[in-house]
Structures are given as structure tokens and as C-alpha cells.
Structure 1
Amino acid sequence: MKYQEFQPCALLKPYIKCYYLFEVSTEVPFEDQAFATGCMEVMFNLGSGHWQISTGNQFVTNPRVELWGQIIQPLTFRSIGHNIMLGARFFPHTAACFLQDEIQQFNDGVTDFHVIGGNGVQILHEQLLEAASLQQRLALLENYLLDQLTTKAKHWNKFLLVNNVMRELQRDDFFENITQVAHRQGVSLRHLQKVFQEYTGLSPKLYSKIHRFQNSLLKVAQQDLSLTSIAYNCGYFDQSHFIRDFKTFTGFAPSSFSPERSSVLFASPNK
């Protein structure tokens, strides 16, 4: 398993957290889980294998170009054969700047990006497969995103509102009611919640919980703090509150998490 991250150009830095290359090559299926990150991603499979997700009692093969919506419930996936996943990870509120569809409809699912992006995505995928180097592939992906941002940019005032609210929700010392945040931003609570959901697919409260969970996940992976200390450092009311939230987003207790057997830390926007 090989994972690398790459930074976008200056024009895309406010929208793209990173590009990444995730390569897995195994003779037996490699199985893992994805947890809530608050971010959406687009992935192009440039390998010869298959990328699959679990739907109930069976695995289904993903499309060759896939859009990952907001994953809220833990999602099991597996890699079969040789997969080279070239991806773009958006910030929690920026995928909406590249898509015309309602962001929330993609929650807890993987969608065929060919269907959403049309012929342009098909052409890009073919170009990525034919590119001679990683640098060429990154340039192709970046040019596509720049073009989409130009043609599908949303209202700037709404974007700035969500950006400002997210900064407040991400503070370690944030314990306020979201109504107070709306008041400081000069908008009604209803308007704030509507715009926030429009851009992120999440309510402000759920986003705040995911952000706090990701902070706790990184600390659990370090394996050098007690659960009580992690709960305190991450802003939970107590240890039981922390464990309850951790179970909600992973399906198991923090004491059962094995970072050496998981790829979820790669995708964490909080690292």
C-alpha cells in the first residue's frame, strides 16, 4: 500500500485540500473501512484492478471514476488486484463549487462521476490513462478543475459565510450555540443552516461532531494518551460521550482501533 499527497496550485488552494495517489496491489482482496471526514473526493482508477464497496451482504464494483459523497456511516471497501487511485480531496464546503447537483444527495454513497460530469470526465479519464508521468496526470486533473471552477462557481457571499462558520466550528474552544454564530455573521439561524447544508451536505452540528471525531481519531492512533485525556483534549463532555461518538462514526470502541491495519488516517483532513 502506497500513499502520497500533492498540493494544488495557488488558485485552487482555497478549494482543494490535496491531490493524492493511493496504490494497492495484492493477490488477495485488501479490505478496509472509510469513516466520516467531512470532505468529499473524486477518484480516478488508473490501474487494472477493481475497487469495491459493501452494500449490505455483498460487494459491488465501483465505476472507474467515482465521486465519494459525505461518508457519515462507516463504509467498508476493498481493493482487488492492482489499483492506482488518483484523487482530489475537497475541503468540506468546496465540492459544491464544482458541481451543479445538490451535494446532500451524494451522502453515504459512491456515485459514477462520468454520469455527473459527462463527456468531459470521460475525456479526462482517457487522458490520465495515456499520460506518461504523474506530473502530467496532476496537470491534467488540475486544468480540469480550474475549468469547472470557472464555469460552475457559486455565489461568493454564501461561500464566505460557510467558510467563516466552519472556522468557528473548528476552534478547539468552541462550545457555543450555533444561534450565536448566526448572530455574529449577521444572518438568521435558518439561513445559516440552509446555506451550510447546501455547501457541505451536513448540518453545522453534524459537521462539528465529525471534526471533533477526526481530532480524536488522530489522537487514538498515536496510542500515547488515555481515553479520558483524549476526551478532554478534543472537547467532549466526558469519556463516555467520546466513546459513544467514536462508536457512532466507526462501529466500534476506540480501544479496538488498529491504525497499523487501516488507511483511514490518510484521508483525515485534520492531520
Structure 2
Amino acid sequence: MHYREFCPNSFLKNYVQCYFVCETDTAVFTQDKVFATGFIEVMFNLGADGPQQLINGDLITQPDVQLWGQTIQPFTFTSFGKHSMLGIRFFTHTAACFFNERIEEFNDQVIDFKDIGGKEIALLHSKLWEAKSIDQRIELIEEFLLRRLSLFLNKYTRLALVNSIMHDLCKDDFFENINSVASRYGVSSRYLQKIFLNYSGLSPNLFTKIARFQKSIQLVAVKNSSLTTIAHQCGYFDQSHFIKDFKFFTGSTPSQFSPESSTDLFVTLYN
């Protein structure tokens, strides 16, 4: 598998974490475990073979353009084919700025993006297919994103506030409860919960758990630290809380976990 990331332009860099390309040289059978990352992604299939998922022994053709919502519950995505995917990875709280739909409606789903975007998405996919270079493809994607942003951005005027709160929640020494955070920003805890859900599809508590989990899973994968040390480094109250959260997000305990099962984790560790 070949994986590359590309930076967005200066304006979109506040909304898009990266664009990425994931390709294989030949048709491969892939059994990939998908865990919570905190990100929402859109993926365009640009390969000669359409994406196919293996379900109950049958290969089922998948949408050419997929919207991956926030993954909370782990699942296994089994596929076959020669892959050539071009993706957009949004920050946790920015995908909402490009959609009219409530972002939490996408949680734990892989959706046909053409069902949401209609002819515009079908036309974009066709243009991406015909484009001769990755630079041309990124230019097409950015033109599309800027059009979407102009349509919906006025609905999301508290982006800077949510960004600041997320930054605080990710700090290693963060131990405040949500009421004190809301008070510090001059809003009610109920309002904070509401805007957090509107922008990210997650509650503040769930976002914090995913952020801790993402840090812990990388430490578990490299196998250089004890579980007690990892729990402490990632801000868990104790080892038992760490193991409980880890099992919730992966379906296995840290000692049973196999990092090779996840493409996302492989990419994070080796690229």
C-alpha cells in the first residue's frame, strides 16, 4: 500500500487537516479494523476497479464517493480490489461547515456522498477521474470545498470558540469538569454541549475520550511502555479506566491488541 498526504491551501488549512492518496499496485484482500479517530473523511475512488466490500461471503459494490462519519464503535471493513483513493480529512470540528445536514447524523456510518451532494458530487468525481495530476485533482477539490463553505459557513459562527475549547480539552494536564470550562468561556454548560455536538458530532466528554484513546493506541502499538505508564501519560485516572476505554474503542484489551489490523494506525506509525 502506498500512502501520501498533501497540505491544503492557506485558507482551507483551518478547515482541512490534509488530502491523502491511498493506492495498491495490485488487487488485494483487505480486512481492516476501523477505530475512533475524531475525524470525518470523504473518499473518492479513482481506480479502474470500483470498491467492493466482502459481506457474508459476497462482494458488494460500494459507492464511488464515500462519506465516513465519526467512528465511535469499532468495526471491520473487509474489501477486495486494486485501490486508488483520494481523500479529504477534516478536523474534528470543521466538517460541519461544509454540510447542511446535522453532522452527528453521520456518526458510525459510511454513506454514499452522492446521496447528499447529488449531481455536483457526481460531476466532481468525473472531473477527478479525468484529471492528469494530483495537483489538478486537489485544485478541483478545493474549488468544490470553497463553494460549499460559502453556502454554509454563516451557520457556524462559533468555530473559534469550539476550536479553543477543544485545544483545552486535549491538554495533558486538563482536569476541569464541563461546568468550569463553560464558565471560563462565559457560556452555559448546556450551550457548550450543544455547539460541541453541532460542530463535531461528539459530546465534549466523548471527544476527550477519543483524544486520549488516540494517544494511547499509538503507545500501545510501539510496545515500549507498561500499561500503567501509558495510562498515566494519557491522562487516565488509573490503569483500569484506561483498559475499559481501550476495549470500548477497539473491542480488545491493550495486551490483546494487534496494531497490524488497522490501516489508519499503520499510516500514523510508519509514514
Partners in 1 of 2:56 and 2:235 — Cα distance? 34
Q: 3-state DSSP class of the match of 1:243?
A: helix
Q: Do residues 214 (structure 1) and 214 (structure 2) align?
A: yes
Mark the runs of 5 or more structure 2 residues left unpaired by the alignment. Answer: none
Residue of structure 2 in register with 1:95 after alignment: 95
Partners in 1 of 2:72 and 2:91 — Cα distance? 16
Q: Match for 2:34: what amino acid?
A: A
Q: State whether residues 62 and 110 of structure 1, in contact with CA within 8 Å, keep that contact through their aligned partners in structure 2.
A: no
- CA distance 1:76–1:193, shift in 2 (3 Å): same
RMSD: 2.0
- CA distance 1:75–1:243, shift in 2 (3 Å): same
Q: Match for 2:47: what amino acid?
A: G
Q: Deviations over 1:67-126 (max 9, x none)?
A: 000110012113311111100000001000000001111100011111111211111100
Correspondence 1:167-178 to 2 at 5 A: 167-178=167-178
Residue of structure 2 in register with 1:256 after alignment: 256
Q: Do residues 79 (structure 1) and 79 (structure 2) align?
A: yes
Q: State whether residues 39 and 91 of structure 2, in contact with CA within 8 Å, keep that contact through their aligned partners in structure 1.
A: yes
- CA distance 1:52–1:248, shift in 2 (3 Å): farther
Q: Match for 2:132: what amino acid?
A: A
| TM-score, normalisation: structure 2 | 0.93
Displacement of 1:59 after TM fit?
Answer: 6.8
Residue of structure 2 in register with 1:6 after alignment: 6
Which stretch of structure 1 is more off in the superposition, 235-244 or 17-26?
A: 17-26
Partners in 1 of 2:159 and 2:140 — Cα distance? 26
Q: Match for 2:139: what amino acid?
A: A
Q: State whether residues 38 and 92 of structure 2, in contact with CA within 8 Å, keep that contact through their aligned partners in structure 1.
A: yes
- CA distance 1:146–1:208, shift in 2 (3 Å): same
Percent of residue pairs identical: 53
- CA distance 1:116–1:258, shift in 2 (3 Å): same
Mark the runs of 5 or more structure 1 residues left unpaired by the alignment. Answer: none
Residue of structure 2 in register with 1:37 after alignment: 37
Q: Do residues 138 (structure 1) and 138 (structure 2) align?
A: yes
Q: Do residues 202 (structure 1) and 214 (structure 2) align?
A: no
Partners in 1 of 2:110 and 2:215 — Cα distance? 25
- CA distance 1:122–1:50, shift in 2 (3 Å): closer
Displacement of 1:263 after TM fit?
Answer: 0.9
- CA distance 1:114–1:46, shift in 2 (3 Å): same
Q: Deviations over 1:195-229 (max 9, x none)?
A: 11011111000010000000001111222111111
Residue of structure 1 in register with 2:148 after alignment: 148
Partners in 1 of 2:210 and 2:198 — Cα distance? 17
Q: Deviations over 1:163-200 (max 9, x none)?
A: 11111111111111011110011111111101110111
Q: Deviations over 1:209-268 (max 9, x none)?
A: 000000001111222111111011000111111111111001011122232443122676
Q: 3-state DSSP class of the match of 1:264?
A: helix
Residue of structure 1 in register with 2:110 after alignment: 110
Which stretch of structure 1 is more off in the superposition, 210-219 or 18-27?
A: 18-27
Residue of structure 2 in register with 1:66 after alignment: 66
Residue of structure 2 in register with 1:124 after alignment: 124
| TM-score, normalisation: structure 1 | 0.93
Q: Match for 1:226: what amino acid?
A: S
Q: 3-state DSSP class of the match of 1:174?
A: coil
Q: 3-state DSSP class of the match of 1:153?
A: helix
Q: State whether residues 3 and 266 of structure 1, in contact with CA within 8 Å, keep that contact through their aligned partners in structure 2.
A: no
Displacement of 1:154 after TM fit?
Answer: 3.5
Q: State whether residues 42 and 87 of structure 1, in contact with CA within 8 Å, keep that contact through their aligned partners in structure 2.
A: yes
Residue of structure 2 in register with 1:186 after alignment: 186
Q: Do residues 49 (structure 1) and 85 (structure 2) align?
A: no
Q: Report the count of equivalent residues.
A: 269
